[in-house]
Amino acid sequence: MNVNQQPHMASPYGQPQPGYQGYPQPGYGGGHVPSGYPAQYAPYNGPGSAYQQGPPQGMRGPPTSGAPPVSGAQSYSQFGQGETQNGPPPMGAPPQRPPVSQTYTPGAVNLSGPQPPFSQQFGAPPVSMQQMTNQMASMQVGSTAPSPAGPGYAPPSVSQAAMSAPYTPAAPPSFPPTSAAPSQPPPTEAVARPPPQSYYGAPPPAQQPFPNAVPPFSSTGPTQPQAPPPVSPQSFPQAPPVSQPPFSTAQVPPGPTQSYGGPLPPTQPSFSRPLLPTSQPSTFPAGPPPTSTPSQLPGVMQPQPPVSQPSPYHSGPHPTSTGFPPQVGAPPRPPFAGMQGPPMAPQGPPLASQGPPMVQANHVPPTQPGMPPGPISASMSGPPPQPGMQGYPPQQNGAFGQVRGPQPGYTGPYPGQPNYGAPPAAPAPAPPATKRLDPDSVPSPIQVIEDDKANKGSEPFTTGVRGQAPPLVTTKFQVKDQGNASPRYIRCTAYNMPCNSDMAKQSQVPLAAVIKPLAPLPPDETPPYLVDHGESGPIRCNRCKAYMCPYMQFIEGGRRFQCGFCSCVTEVPPHYFQHLDHTGKRVDCYDRPELSMGSYEFMATVDYCKNNKIPQPPAFIFLIDVSYNAVKNGMVGIVCQELKTLLDYLPRENPDVESNIRVGFVTYNKVLHFYNVKASLAQPQMMVVSDVADMFVPLLDGFLVNVSESRVVIESLLDQIPEMFADTRETETVFGPVIQAGLEALKAADCAGKLFVFHSSLPIAEAPGKLKNREDKKLVGTDKEKSLFQPQVSFYNTLAKECVVQGCCVDLFLFPNQYVDVATLGVVPTSTGGSIYKYTYFQASSDQERFLNDLRRDVQKPMGFDAVMRVRTSTGIRATDFFGSFYMSNTTDVELAGLDCDKTVTVEFRHDDKLSEETGALMQCAVLYTSCSGQRRLRIHNMAVNCCSQLADLYRNCETDTVINFFAKYAYRSVLSSPIKNVRDSLVNQCAQILACYRKNCASPSSAGQLILPECMKLLPVYLNCVLKSDVLQPGADISLDDRAYLRQLVSTMDVSESHVFFYPRLLPLQKLDVESISLPVAVRDSEERLSRGGVYLLENGLNIFLWVGVNAQQELLQNIFGTPAFGQIDPNMTSLPALDNPFSKRLREIIESVRAQRSRYMKLMVVKQEDKLELIFKHFLVEDKSNNGGASYVDFLCHMHKEIRQLLS
Amino acid sequence: MATFQEFIQQNEDRDGVRFSWNVWPSSRLEATRMVVPVASLFTPLKERPDLPPIQYEPVLCSRATCRAVLNPLCQVDYRAKLWACNFCYQRNQFPPTYAGISEVNQPAELLPQFSTIEYVVQRGPQMPLNFLYVVDTCMEDDDLQALKESLQMSLSLLPPTALVGLITFGRMVQVHELGCEGISKSYVFRGTKDLSAKQLQEMLGLTKPAAAQAGRGPQQPQVPPSNRFLQPVQKIDMNLTDLLGELQRDPWPVTQGKRPLRSLGVALSIAVGLLECTFPNTGARIMAFIGGPATQGPGMVVGDELKTPIRSWHDIEKDNAKFMKKATKHYEALANRAAANGHIIDIYACALDQTGLLEMKCCTNHTGGYMVMADSFNTSLFKQTFQRVFTKDEQGSFKMAFAGTLEIKTSREIKISGAIGPCVSLNAKGPCVSENEIGTGGTSQWKICGLDPNTTLAFYFEVVNQHNAPIPQGGRGAIQYVTQYQHSSGQRRIRVTTVARNWADAQTQIQSIAASFDQEAAAILMARLAIYRAETEEGPDVLRWLDRQLIRLFMFHLRRSPFLQVFNNSPDESTYYRHQFMRQDLTQSLIMVQPILYAYSFNGPPEPVLLDSSSILPDRILLMDTFFQIVIYHGETVSQWRKAGYQDMPEYENFRHLLQAPVDDAQELLHTRFPMPRYIDTEHGGSQARFLLSKVNPSQTHNNMYAWGQESGAPILTDDVSLQVFMDHLKKLAVSSAA
């Protein structure tokens, strides 16, 4: 596949280049680079600027005159979309199937190939494709989008016409035609309707509209590539789109139109939109408008819109996304405009006018290149008549939809694709088809992220509004606690829960919350207040024991309160009594955090303590492997050296006071060495315990000590440990007894605590928990594969249970040179709330920094001990499943021996009754823990979400990132019990069901061949694909079993932002770095196509940072970064960048530091030179591409998903 | 020939041997009729400053089953350079080194005055001495401090090349690695789990000393093998002193109402195991200092609940001592392991309550170790006793010997029934082993891991000559004791004692046999036998047996002694007394059975008086030596004088002298006695006077005191019968035929 794809990819680029001007070229062709870059930049920047730039639009105003064309362009796009969407459906239906299979790979692949021939013919179509995408995007954005697409597309025919028009005639004309196409307008309207549906729910739509607008551009873009004429059209379209977005938003109300409107209204709306945009967004949010709008619009549009619109939206996403990428550029557009300006220039005045949009166009063009294929498909689908249209279909239908119409002609394209081509056979068409789905035409994560930043990043997020989805995790925002927990603590998959289980089952959308109880807050947010209810302890509901919270309703003048969870009425204790005001609120409501805040803490009384005894301050025990390997690789020396200073930074609650945490030290190989470091001793005492079969702690007094009191002895000890074992020849180690030792020590001291185990090898020495090497790669891919993730002995499960009872959290630092069976060693850490750190082939020189930073953070991070977490919910739903690093002895209490600020628990809810729309669904997460100073506390997080009886509301208020977090954890746990193939299949299946349900119940009717995605979930396919192709679920040959087990366990505690970047790494183009600005360059999508040979990119996924250097990177850039202008002189082994005295270098290092600071683990920097062998590793993280393991590319997967959905629908 | 009295004395002085009969009845039948068997008390290492060891090895009889040592009783053919073994009559060639032998040039071993002779074995490596301290840390700080000081002091008494090791225990057992720089290391073991020597070896990371294999070469300079746990004193003196100084009381909390958890059983096991795998068959002392009973793990003798007291005789009789059997078994196993390797276990038990000596007695009794019982480590009793362990002789060598084996050869007419004393059987069957076992029998060789000049064993023989095979007139029966041991200098030595006694036909020469009876020796021999049986059988039966067997005054005291009477003694005390009795020589044993009582008064010089209540007079000071206690008892009047302070007045200087006299005598006794006796200075009516009152013959009691009048003596409040009554009964029994 890869091979095929790549070539194709290449070809598309190459081909397009000529036609498209460089866009593609930029990426590949070195020469083009300049232009290319701009182009790329343009897209990104473009969007930004576009968005931001009110003025530009204003500027556009003038273009507006040109507007008509613009509108036309839009219309095109819309049409195109519509067509594609429509097209595919119709087309697809019959033919699709066959193609389907083909569709995947072929779709994309072929596209490129065929392009040349088709391009001409289809030239237009491609555009349409883009448009489609754009629309899609718009759809999403506008929420309305979805619907519009459908209808819009209906017109596809029109669009096709348009398409064709653009091609043959001057772009402008073409546009007009499109616009002219009466159909178009209607579609737009129609579109409008649908959009309302999808969008209404979410205010975001408003934002989206912008993107939509952009898409149009992109769509236009496509046209551009086709020819000079197209250029102009493009420009136009772009312009409109740009304007549109705003407009769209504005129109949105008319909304649906947006997406649609984009197209249709373009002309008209375009104007209006610009004005409205901002306001619109807000309007959109309002549920009602949508409906109304739809109705309104429908009136006119209905016929057309319905069909095309919906589809477009949904499908739109893809297109939009594709479009979006450009759109993304949109903001930047202006710059791009400038950038691209030149290229565009040729295209024509229109461009100039729309300059900015053009920028997008530029992007578009590139997309277009891709588009050609797309168009093909599109043409396939809706446009059947119009070959060009097919371009679109390819996207969605890819293989599918198009089949029909396009088939004849298009089939070619597919065929073009090796696989698919076959059936259609139409070789000729194939070539033209080159209809590989344009990556730019599919929903772009980057676009979504940037949009969210633009729309939600500026104002604080207040938590008071029930059912409001927070900004994405990638957006920097401030939170104001107004009664619900901050999204930093709790994120839900759905902020509108289905009222009953039928709906929930139907939609298959997981209902889950990702809870990070001790999440750190940025300095500008207040940590939870500590509330003390006195000796009787926190006030709680008598029945369900929920803690006092804003959902408790005070009645009878304040003498009683009714529980919001179970409705039980409880007396208010006298000391807590307060009068109510006229609204029924307690007078002291705002004086008491527990009555007005989402998150706060209670002081726990002795009743909440183990054995009814105030807990002792916790202890940290360091257990260091001193076997041959550990000594030789330098670990022992480093740990001992570091501990000397690190011990001054033990967690403490009050910075002025010394930490209460006591420390103890153990070293071990085959036997254990305990150390007595009592302050009164002249020298440390070492106590060897060789009887590992029956572990015990040989001393009590002097093992756990206060650092400041025993400092001298401790330092003496830490100095001596490396010396003592410098000549060791002991290679065998034990592991079980090590943890037992720590556990026994804590037991003896009667306190909770944490063990830091530094371990190097598989524990093969005779002892409990002894392991054998069971590394057997032959099992991979078989039904027995799951056993590789299961512990090989049950010893550690039992041990983990004991640890939890004692509150003994275990953090494991591994330094393996070979298989160590992480799956088994990790049992205790993952059951006790601990972490695993793994430094394979540890070398002091290169890994020291990473290890030390991890260690420092791990030791210093705030944490609670001996924690129990309980999630209470409204009657009607119930927390049924929990994912994370903890132990559960019953079905409700999550027991965490240790809970640090990075640990996340994902909770799944299920209905056991009906929920009411009025009260919504409430959840309260209470964590009882011992603070690092030994105080027993309760941290309460409250969360209220809406309940809905309409599926559309559900889909409008989802958070894809959270859903993915849940899916990943679910799947990663399932591999323990099911064959991986089943796990993957069920994931795909569930995802398909979610989307199909949406399509069936929420999207306006459209041809079955259209892929329609809910706005909030338009990234679901791409992210899901990332999960599916992750190392755990689809391992490559080069990944070790240990790594997989490690990753599996790692993901189980990730919060949403970590899982997001882990599955979809952040890729920053450094050549676009503005050293003056504090903002980062806009990320690019994780695809090799996005990399420029002349660029330098930074990729991070939360575990690693890669600095990818293109072979043709500018010398100045290299000089700035590496201090050498020569590519060849860059040392690929460097782990940190040289500190050079130039602004770029400084800024870059700052960025790297800040990126590292965001992550819970220190990320080692790897420099990857293009075409170096290390690049393979790097490419693994380009998750939109096909992976070496056989993981599908984004586009292919999308096609596959579409196929699945269609199967479900049919 | 001198009197038998002199003969006996001479024999004892020269050979350390005392026989119950010095003329033996010549047939088995007659011998059994004698009631008291032919037996000997033998002190293998009787101090003989006049006997320099000879620097060559003994000449052995070449018969494989005999291997007797050339001795003055052998017939020698000087011309043929042949000698005839007097046990098996094998004729042997002298070795080449004896080429110059002649009637005027006899080697020492042929001279009659060298019936006891000591050889130094030149072969083999010079083995180091090992001292392994096993120290309890569950004790009061004062005690621990005193103990630490004693131990530190002891380091200076050890020869510089001796290897020392340290094991401490409380709840855990710590084996300390010695000679570590900068950090002190120890291996810790849980006190509840026993370990085999092999496990221990692995856990301590010990491999058999390479020297064991490599070192057999003839004169290869032997570096004394050492390891991380046993190192030469000279090397780790300072280190160990510091280590001892830093010893802390066992840090594990002991809650109210509990005993500290003391892992004595495992600690000893580890000590034994450590030596077993590092220095097998090399002289070594495990010196255990314990401050209380083992309360956990194998060898525990009492639970940690204070509310359950440690077993008493009452419990034992009721079979209510639930830990006893198991613990005894554990310690027995340890004792046998230690004995098999020639290692000694000493137990210094210092606690007010019992510490489980009863269970642990095997450890000392089988290995020839010391058992010392005191109330606290912070008493002079312990301190002095411990110091006395390291007493040296004129040559500067310790008065202790290690890893000894004792073999007995006999003439054909007599066989060995067994031995009673601090030894274990080596299970060497042979022609001279009787089927009739008395004590540790069934063998002609015993292992005596620890010996000192006082160590005395009782050997019982059986005359096997049949009545119808008379022994020719003038025939003599011979017995040879061959004791091999490791001298404290590290040399291996062999001491050979060969003795002979005349045979006599009991029917014709009954007079001479009767005259040769050694009353004292016989008493002690019978007492040992009685105690041995008491240890293995039920108490009352032993008394009955004794009553049937014995007809002498002496037994009156024996019957009343703590060796047989457990009333008023804890099991530990009984054990301790019996332990001492079983290893002390005749003189000391006599004192133990029948304490000596001296009277001091203005009436004359100090005089021994009857151990009778009638000896307790107001104007006397009594000094009683029971071996275990030395009691100075001031009579009523003397006591009043003393209280009045007359001794401080110059005009009553004579009174001061009177007071001082017994004290001086007591000091003299204290200085020579090992273990140090308890020194008690008391007076009429004093609480400690009970020690005296319980020993004397209760000739006056509250029952009869009025009948005897009040002019003398002090009544004893007891229901025990007095000697008078005992004798009356005895006479009646002796003349009746029922016995």
pLDDT in tens, B363-381: 999 999 999 999 999 998 8
Three-state DSSP at A992 gives helix
Residue of B182, B242, B252 with shortest CB distance to A720: B182
> Which residues of chain A are within 8 Å of residue B185 when distances are taken between CB atoms?
673, 685-688
**pLDDT higher than 80, residue A655:** no
User: How much is the pLDDT for A929?
Assistant: 94
Residue B407 has pLDDT above 90, yes or no: yes
User: Which tens digit of pLDDT belongs to each residue from A712-742?
Assistant: 999 999 999 999 999 988 999 999 999 999 9
Does A671 sit within 8 Å of B172, measured CB to CB?
no
For chain A, the C-alpha Rg in angstroms (whole number) is 30
Would you call B188 an interface residue with chain A, using a CB distance cutoff of 8 Å?
yes
Of A688, A700, A716, the CB nearest to B186: A688
Closest Cα in chain A, distance from residue B253 (Å): 9
Output the average pLDDT for chain B.
86
How large is the average pLDDT for residues A889-900? 92
For position B670, what pLDDT does the model report? 87
Any CB–CB contact under 8 A between B174 and chain A? yes
Give the residue with greater pLDDT, A285 vs B469.
B469
Higher pLDDT, A1186 or A384: A1186
**Residues of chain B contacting A685 with CB distance shorter than 8 Å:** 183-186, 246
A883, B8, B407, B512 from B515: Cα distances, Å: 100, 12, 29, 5
* Average pLDDT value for residue range A506-523: 93
Contacts of A700 in chain B (CB under 8 A): 251-253
Question: Is some CB atom of chain A closer than 8 A to the CB atom of B467?
Answer: no
In chain B, positions 211-250, which contact chain A (CB-CB < 8 Å)? 242, 246, 248
The contacts of residue A1139 (CB under 8 Å, 6+ apart) are: A1145, A1149
The pLDDT value given to residue B152: 93
The minimal CB distance from B182 to the residues A673, A683, A687 is found for A683
- Report the helix count and the strand count for chain A, using DSSP H and E: 53, 28
Ranking A422-431, A1002-1011, B153-162, B311-320 by mean pLDDT, the lowest is: A422-431
The percent of residues above 70 in pLDDT, for chain B, comes to: 93
A1015, A139 contact by CB (below 8 A) = yes
Residue B132 has pLDDT above 70, yes or no: yes
Q: How far is A686 from chain B (nearest CA, A)?
A: 4
Chain A residue at shortest CA distance from B253: A700
**Terminal Cα distance for chain A, rounded:** 29
- Give the pLDDT of residue A197: 40
Q: Is pLDDT at A114 greater than 50 in this prediction?
A: no
Residue A471 neighbours by CB under 8 Å, 6+ apart: A452, A453, A456, A457, A461, A477, A487
Q: Nearest C-alpha of chain A: how many angstroms from B182?
A: 6
Any A CB within 8 A of B277 CB? no
Query: What's the gap in Å between the CA of B374 and the closest CA on chain A?
Result: 29
pLDDT at B663 (0 to 100): 92
The average pLDDT across B670-689 equals 88
Distance to chain B for A554, nearest Cα, Å? 51
| Residue B9 C-alpha, separation from nearest chain A C-alpha, in angstroms | 57
Q: Which pLDDT does position B226 carry in this prediction?
A: 59
Specify burial of residue A1119 (Cβ count, 10 A radius: 0-12, 13-18, 19+).
Answer: middle
Q: What is the pLDDT of residues A202-249, one digit of tens each?
A: 333 333 333 333 333 333 333 333 333 333 333 333 333 333 333 333
Q: A727 contacts in B (CB within 8 Å)?
A: none
Does residue B196 sit at the A interface (CB-CB below 8 Å)? no
Distance from CA of A715 to the nearest CA of B (A): 12
Percent of chain B at pLDDT > 90 equals: 35
Mean pLDDT within B142-149: 93
Residue B514, chain A, CB below 8 Å: the answer is no
Q: Do B203 and A691 lie within an 8 Å CB cutoff?
A: yes
Residue A258 has pLDDT above 50, yes or no: no
For residue A687, the chain B residues in CB contact (below 8 A) are 174, 185-188
Among A595-599, A752-756, B353-357, B612-616, whose mean pLDDT is lowest?
A: B612-616
More confident residue, A361 or A632: A632
Tell me the pLDDT tens digit for each residue of A1024-1040: 999 998 988 888 778 88
CA distance B577 to chain A (A): 37
For residue B441, the distance in angstroms to the closest alpha carbon of chain A comes to 40
At A1061-1110, the pLDDT tens digits run: 999 999 999 888 888 888 888 999 999 888 988 899 999 999 999 999 99
Rounded mean pLDDT, A101-106: 34
Q: Which of A667, A683, A697 to mutate to test the interface with B (most CBs of B within 10 A)?
A: A683
Fill in the amino acid letter for B260: P
- Chain A CB within 8 Å of residue B187 CB: yes
- Nearest Cα of chain A lies from the Cα of B200 at a distance, in angstroms, of 9
- Give dist(CA A152, CA A158) in Å, integer: 9
Nearest CA in chain A to B194: A691
The pLDDT of residue A243 is 35
Q: Are A406 and A80 in contact (CB under 8 A)?
A: no
Q: What is the mean pLDDT of residues A766-787?
A: 87
CA angle at B584 for the pair B580 and B586, rounded to the nearest 5°: 135
Which token pair is B258? 């509990």
Convert the pLDDT of each residue in A945-984 to its tens digit. Answer: 999 998 999 999 999 999 999 999 999 999 999 999 999 9
Kindly list the residues from chain A whose CB atom is less than 8 angstroms away from the CB atom of residue B180. Answer: 686
Q: Give chain B positions within 8 Å (CB) of A681.
A: 246
Interface test with A, best of B169, B176, B183 (most A CBs within 10 A): B183
Task: Give contacts of A720 with chain B, Cβ < 8 Å.
Answer: 182-183
> A780 with A724: CB under 8 angstroms?
no
Q: How many Cβ atoms sit within 10 Å of the Cβ of residue A243?
A: 40
Nearest Cα residue to B659 out of B671, B651, B647, B668: B647
- Whether B202 sits inside 8 A of A682 (CB atoms) is no
Interface A-B: count of C-beta contacts within 8 A:
68
For testing contact with chain A, the best of B174, B178, B186 (most A CBs within 10 A): B186
**Closest CA in chain A for residue B243:** A685
Name the pTM for this structure.
0.74
Mean pLDDT throughout A325-343? Answer: 37
Which residues are CB-neighbours of B686 under 8 A, at least 6 positions away?
Answer: none
pLDDT at A407: 34
Which residues of chain A lie closer than 8 angstroms to B203, CB-CB? Answer: 671, 690-691
pLDDT, chain A, mean: 71
On whether any CB of chain A is under 8 Å from the CB of B89, the answer is no
Q: How far is B251 from chain A (nearest CA, A)?
A: 6
Quick check: B188 and A683 CB within 8 A? no
Element (H, E) at A162: helix A156-167
pLDDT tens by residue, B484-499: 999 888 888 999 999 9
Pick among A672, A688, A723 to test the B interface (most B CBs inside 10 A): A688
Q: Which of A185, A187, A202 is nearest to A148 (CA)?
A: A187
Task: List, for residues B255-282, the tens digit of each pLDDT value.
Answer: 899 999 999 999 999 999 999 888 888 8
Of B174, B180, B205, the CB nearest to A687: B174
**Contact state of B182 with A696 under an 8 Å Cβ cutoff:** no
Per-residue three-class SS string for A446-474: HHHHHHHHHHHCCCCEECCCCCCCCCCCC
Say what the ipTM of the complex is: 0.84
Cross-chain residue pair A701–B189, CB shorter than 8 Å? no
